[in-house]
Amino acid sequence: MSATGRRQRRGAGLALLAVPVVFLAIFFVWPVGTIFATGFAPDGDLELGVVGRVIGDPAVRSVAWFTLWQAAASTALTLLVGLPGAYALARMEFRGRSLLQAGVTIPFVLPTVVVGSAFLALLGPRSPINTALTTVLGDAAPTLDLRRTVVAILVAHVFFNYAVVVRTVGGLWSLLDPRLEDAARVLGASRWRAFREVSLPLLRPAIASAAAIVFLFTFTSFGVVLILGGPGRATIEVEIHRATTQLLDLPLASALAVLQLIAVLASLLVYGRLQRRAPTQPLVGATTTRRPPRSAGERWFLRGNLVVVAALLASPLLVLVERSLTTADGYGLANWRALLTDDRATVLAVPAGEAVRNSLLFGLSATLIALVVGGLAATAATSRDGRLSRIVDRGLMVPLGTSAVTIGFGFLIALDRPPLDLRGSPLLVPIAQALIATPFVVRTLLPVLRSIDERLRDAAAVLGASPRRIWREVDLPIVGRAALVAAGFSFAIAVGEFGATVFVARANLPTMPVAIFRLLGRPGVANFGQAMAMSTLLMVVTASAILAIDRLRVGQVGRF
Amino acid sequence: MPHGAPLELTGVTVTYGPYDAVRDLDLRANAGEVLCVLGPSGCGKSTLLRAVAGLEPSRTGTIRLDDRQLDGLRPDQRDVGLMFQDHALFPHRTVADNVAFGPRMRGLDRRSVADRVDDALRLVDLTDLAGRRITELSGGEQQRVALARAVAPRPKLLMLDEPLGSLDRALQARLLDDLTRVFSELGTTVLHVTHDQQEALAVADRVAVMRAGRVEQLGSPDELWRGPRTAFVARFLGLEHVVRLTVRDGVADSPWGPLAVPGTRDGDHDVVLLPEALRVIDAGEPRRDDELAVTGRIVGRRFAGDHLRVTVDPGTGPTLTVPVWRGSVPEPGSDLELALDPQAARILEPETTTRSTR
């Protein structure tokens, strides 16, 4: 291509980038910058003492310590439970396997508030666990109440991130040549030794990256800890929320957010380093490495994993549904009816049904914004200009690493005064949600766009198509399906978004997660029941969006 | 070096997915013998090795190595060596670490492990590459590392699954010589699986031709070559001339004249012409009286390196292909005079196997 042509192309790429760049500048850089400004210069003058004071504060230290150790413990536990599951799903063939594979992904995409509600229901005094204990032991049975304990937080985190391990490690495991372990076995290694000496080292990159992701997610955990934790069991995220809404100490919240940002960026760097050092793997081609379990030991191993999935992944969700149908006098639809008809509006300031409507409207708007911003950015990133493409790639990933709470908090303190006073604007919610969803849109579209053979575009151009026409006739049809996937993803994220939304949603425009949180904060069986019903509804909405995507992408969910 | 142990399989059936990949198979390899299992892909020969190694459970039958029954033992308890197709070397370890793996698993001390690695690498002439990474090796070097890794624990039985399969022709020829040398140096019992009849005939003391999970014929290379039992064996060994003929009073009535097949009952039979049955008549070697004269038009010519394979249409019956070693190059369309030895024909047993190979 001529130099002029290249310059033109770069010009076109930059033009496409204008929208995402402006969007990010206003809604990411500005708020985060304001956080830094508030943290370092609360009164307009640079005052590094604030950060020092925050770090020196024993209360903050204990929060930071708790955040760190619960994340480490959650990561270790998730690996412990997830690795056998990854093996079972990657290497064993059994009836219902592909359905189960899709099913274990659902917890990962469920809104944190739903997960919190589900574990409140499962671990509370009125849970089926206690019912069973009472049935077996009579009145002497101890009542198990694990709400507001570390155990609840850890278990919920394992529930959430099980799929990360199964997908990341299992993905590599299913491609690893099984004859390597065979070779080790014939050479005299026991089954365990063959795993330890051959498979484990080869899986290490995948295990490390799964661990890094789980650590990042649990380190920035907000909704789950807010609902299931308690005094002395708060993460930095929860503490930012408390400092903002209860202590009204914005400098403290800002300093905590800065601390959080630094920790997240550091772990992202480590993650990137790990990814780059991955060695070449002896991968099998398209042939499957799965086979039915053959020995009794293998069958018990499989059963054990199915029990874990049932107990850990399925039971909280089932109990959630059960509790949504439990009323003061036996089973019934009272909670559900209340959702639609109850307009006492005591707790929520609005009828519960309106929260559902708000969520859907906000979710659709956020999806639209994320698709436009992410779509333009991804298109710009596919330009032949390698440097531009890399910058977009990296630049858009920064919001991905930034916690939702940081974004929500940044919105709260940055967009409430001139030049940009959006206080009270209902637009803030979908914009915040879109900001969180955009990196996922880019991640989904970019590989597909990049995979389009450049010669197809060249062919279209030679046949007389203008650049715009090429995009419409070549790129769009190919990308259409990926765009649908991205839309479904964005919608699921937006509808379930809690961390940012809880900061910016107006009292009279709550979304479903916000409404659930408020209902859970109020005493009374009716409020709890309604929270369960709305959580169930939210679970169904997000899970359907995700299952629809899965069907689009692989086309084999439910086929066995 | 230790001596090999006899291997005996009795009535072994191995189910692989929906198939019986190995069906009611009997096979015995004598101590120190190189036994080649030859067959087309999918005939069950690799499954057979995996069953002996303990990687596939056998559904029926017994497998004995030396005086020990292997059935029910785990792979790591069987004391066999297996060289995998495409090698399955550990990519995260060096050459020396790959070779050391087996001796280490047997709990040898560090000094003995090092000795075993040295011995094995010297055997395959790879001492210089001990510290290399697997990914830095050529295909031929990987093949030798795989062999060294398989022999380093000094197994009583060494099994090789298509050891030359992934290599190019020139390399195959060289490594074939290496293999025969290593086999004789080790003196261990060898079970060698291949689909290449040249490879099998070159390395084996005895060859078992396998088809659809069963042994179709077992014998020394010479026995097989001179007396293939069925049309399948004949064709698989590369004998091209198999025809269906009518036999009466020990004589087969062929389109080229009567062929001697003494002791055969009357009726229709498949008959194979052995390779030495046909030759081109030229001034140096005129036709003997006991030979049949066949004249035909040349319809095909194929260059085969040191000789030509010339296909002749005698007018009656199928075409015949003969090697032409020297003299003028026969032109297609011209006539060629052949001599056919009526003693060099063999009756083949009717095909019993109805199941087609996968």
Report how far apart the first and last C-alpha atoms of chain A are (Å, whole number). Answer: 50
User: pLDDT tens-digit profile of B151-173?
Assistant: 999 999 999 999 887 777 788 88
Which residue among A179, A191, A280 places its CB closest to the CB of B84?
A: A179
Rounded average pLDDT over A422-437? 85
Say yes or no: domain A1-32+337-560 is CATH 3.40.50.2300.
Answer: no
Q: Is the pLDDT of residue A301 over 60?
A: yes
Helix, strand, or coil here: B308?
strand
For chain B, residues classed under CATH 2.40.50.100 are: 276-340
**pLDDT for B342:** 86
Return d(Cα A268, Cα A401) in angstroms, integer: 7
Provide CB contacts within 8 A for B101, sequence distance 6+. A184, A187, A189, A197, B90, B93, B149
Least CB–CB distance from A180: residue in B57, B76, B88: B88
Domain spans of chain A?
1-32+337-560, 48-324
- How confident is residue A161, by pLDDT bands cut at 50, 70 and 90? very high
Domain with CATH 3.40.50.300 in chain B: 7-231
Per CB-CB distance under 8 Å, the chain B contacts of A189 are 76, 101, 105
Q: Please give the average per-residue pLDDT across A191-214, as a whole number.
A: 90
Which comes out higher in pLDDT, residue A48 or B113? B113
Distance from CA of B72 to the nearest CA of A (A): 11
Question: Are A177 and B88 a contacting pair at CB < 8 A?
Answer: yes
Indicate left, alpha or beta for B317 from its phi (over 0: left) and psi (-120 to 50: alpha): left
- Looking at residue B76, the DSSP 8-state letter turns out to be G
Q: Which residues contact B281 (CB under 8 A, 6 or more apart)?
A: B287, B293, B337, B338, B339
Closest CA to B293 of B322, B345, B256: B256
Cβ-in-10-Å burial (0-12, 13-18, 19+) of B223 comes to middle
The stretch A178-182 carries a mean pLDDT of: 90
Most confident of A225-239, A277-291, A536-550, B39-53: B39-53
Q: Would you say residue B134 has pLDDT above 60?
A: yes
- Least confident span in A212-226, A463-477, B344-358: B344-358
Query: How confident is residue A195, by pLDDT bands cut at 50, 70 and 90?
Result: very high
ipTM for this prediction: 0.80
Q: Is the omega angle on the peptide bond into residue A419 within 30 degrees of 0, that is, cis?
A: yes
The β-bridge relationship of strands B292-303 and A420-421 is: unpaired
Highest mean pLDDT among A191-200, A250-259, B249-258: A191-200
* Angle made by CA atoms A186, A190, A195, in degrees to the nearest 5: 95
- Residues in chain A within 8 Å Cβ distance of B76: 185-190
The Cα of A285 is separated from the nearest Cα of chain B by a number of Å equal to 13
Residue whose C-alpha is closest to residue A298's, from A38, A146, A93: A93
Per-residue model confidence (pLDDT) at position A122: 86
pLDDT of residue A397: 66
Nearest chain A Cα distance for residue B94, angstroms: 13
Determine the pLDDT at residue A266. Answer: 82
Q: What is the pTM of this model?
A: 0.80
Contact residues of B toward A, CB < 8 A:
50, 53-55, 57, 74-76, 78, 80-82, 84, 88-92, 101-102, 105-106, 135, 149, 153
Confidence of residue A3 (pLDDT cuts 50, 70, 90): low
- Residue A39 confidence (pLDDT): 78
Q: Is the pLDDT of residue A471 over 80?
A: no
Q: What is the mean pLDDT of residues B281-306?
A: 83
Chain A nearest-CA distance from B95, in A, is 15
Q: Say if residue A1's pLDDT is above 50.
A: no
pLDDT exceeds cutoff 70 at A523: yes
pLDDT at A154: 94
Residue with the bigger pLDDT between B249 and A125: it is B249
Which region among A40-54, A68-82, B56-70 has the lowest average model confidence (pLDDT)?
A40-54
Closest-CA residue of chain A to B157: A186
- Say whether A490 sits in a helix, a strand or coil: helix
CATH architecture of the domain with residue range B276-340: Beta Barrel (2.40)
B68-69 sheet: strands from edge to edge? B19-29, B7-16, B60-65, B68-69
Residue A168: phi, psi to the nearest 5?
Answer: -70, -50
pLDDT (0 to 100) of residue A59: 82
Domain over A48-324 is classified CATH 1.10.3720.10:
yes
Closest approach of A303 to chain B, Cα-based (Å): 21
Predicted pLDDT of residue B352: 60
- Interface probe with A: pick from B14, B80, B92, most Cβ of A within 10 Å: B92
In the predicted structure, residue A289 carries a pLDDT above the cut 70: yes
Q: How confident is the model at residue A362 (pLDDT cuts 50, 70, 90)?
A: very high
Instruction: Identify the pLDDT of residue B189.
Output: 94
User: Where are the alpha helices (H) located in chain B, listed in sequence order?
Assistant: 45-53, 95-105, 110-123, 139-151, 169-186, 197-203, 221-226, 231-237
pLDDT at B356: 40
**Which amino acid, residue B258?**
P
Instruction: Give the one of B81, B90, B91 whose C-beta lies nearest to A186's C-beta.
Output: B81
**Comparing A122-136, A182-196, B135-149, which segment has the lowest mean pLDDT?**
A122-136
Give me the pLDDT at residue A386, please.
66
pLDDT of B173: 82
Query: Which of chain A's residues have a Cβ under 8 Å away from the Cβ of B149?
Result: 183, 187
pLDDT at A163 over 80: yes
* Candidates A180, A186, A195, A199, partner chain B, best to mutate (most B CBs within 10 A): A186
CATH 3.30.70.20 fits domain B7-231: no
Residue A231 burial (CB count, 10 A): 6
pLDDT over threshold 70, residue A172 = yes
**Mean predicted confidence (pLDDT) in A165-190:** 90
Higher pLDDT, A130 or A560: A130
